[in-house]
Amino acid sequence: MPDGLGAPAAGPADGSTSSGPGRVLVALYGTFALAAGARAAVQLATQFDEAPLAYLLSAFSAVVYLVATIGLARGGRSGRRTAVVACLVELAGVLVVGTLSLADRQAFPDATVWSGFGQGYGFIPLVLPVLGLLWLRQLSELDRDAATGDPAPPA
């Protein structure tokens, strides 16, 4: 291969949620689904009594990430709708839990992914749902343009 940095890329992705920027999101969501899921599994199995609320929240966030990952990876109308709902739940979760964890530290003795607005995870939990919703919105705009015959805006 003459060019070590890779061949020129193909144009903007089609309406697929699992290609282009969508694949980056699926990678991030998949990582968080695994990380939160594994963490919750260990916490629930070994020390459930210490902070049941925090550990159940970890498990819940893992499920939300998993649903978002699957929704984005599958794509299509239902996949996207699933992903939108998951992103909204996730955004609400990170905002509510983030606020509560700062207001009432007693209730959250052990950190969850969403504590402190995702502080322990580089605030990625806060950014991820926003990116997800923006991406999903852009896809549905592309769809609408395609349906009305307008040329797609440059991505």
Partner 1 sequence: MSPLLVVAATVAAVIVVVLGLLSTVLRRRTGLAHLVAAGVLQAVLLVQFVLVVVALVGGERPPETATFLAYLVSVVLVPVAGVLWSRSEPTRWAGTVLAVAGAVVGVMVWRLLQLWEATGA
Among 17, 28, 68, 136, interactor with partner 1 by CB under 8 A: 28
Contacts of 39 (CB under 8 A, 6+ apart): 58, 62, 113
Q: Which is nearer to partner 1, 29 or 114 (CB)?
A: 29
Q: How far apart are CA 58 and CA 112, in angstroms?
A: 5
Q: Please tell me whether residue 4 binds partner 1 under the rule CB under 8 A.
A: yes
Q: Please tell me whether residue 75 binds partner 1 under the rule CB under 8 A.
A: no
Site for partner 1 in 35-54 (CB under 8 A): 38-39, 42, 45-46
Q: Tell me how far, at minimum, the Cβ of 46 lies from partner 1, in Å.
A: 7
Instruction: Read off the tokens for 65.
Output: 């990430």
Q: Please tell me whether residue 8 binds partner 1 under the rule CB under 8 A.
A: yes
3-state secondary structure of 142: helix
C-alpha torsion sign, points 135, 31, 122, 46: positive
Which span sits near partner 1 by CB under 8 A: 16-24, 77-85, 87-95, 132-140?
A: 16-24
Among 15, 17, 31, 57, interactor with partner 1 by CB under 8 A: 31
Q: Are 91 and 74 within 8 A, CB to CB?
A: no
Alpha-carbon dihedral 72, 74, 80, 85, rounded to 10 degrees: -70
Q: Which residues bind partner 1 (CB under 8 A)?
A: 1, 3-13, 19-21, 23-24, 27-28, 31, 34, 38-39, 42, 45-46
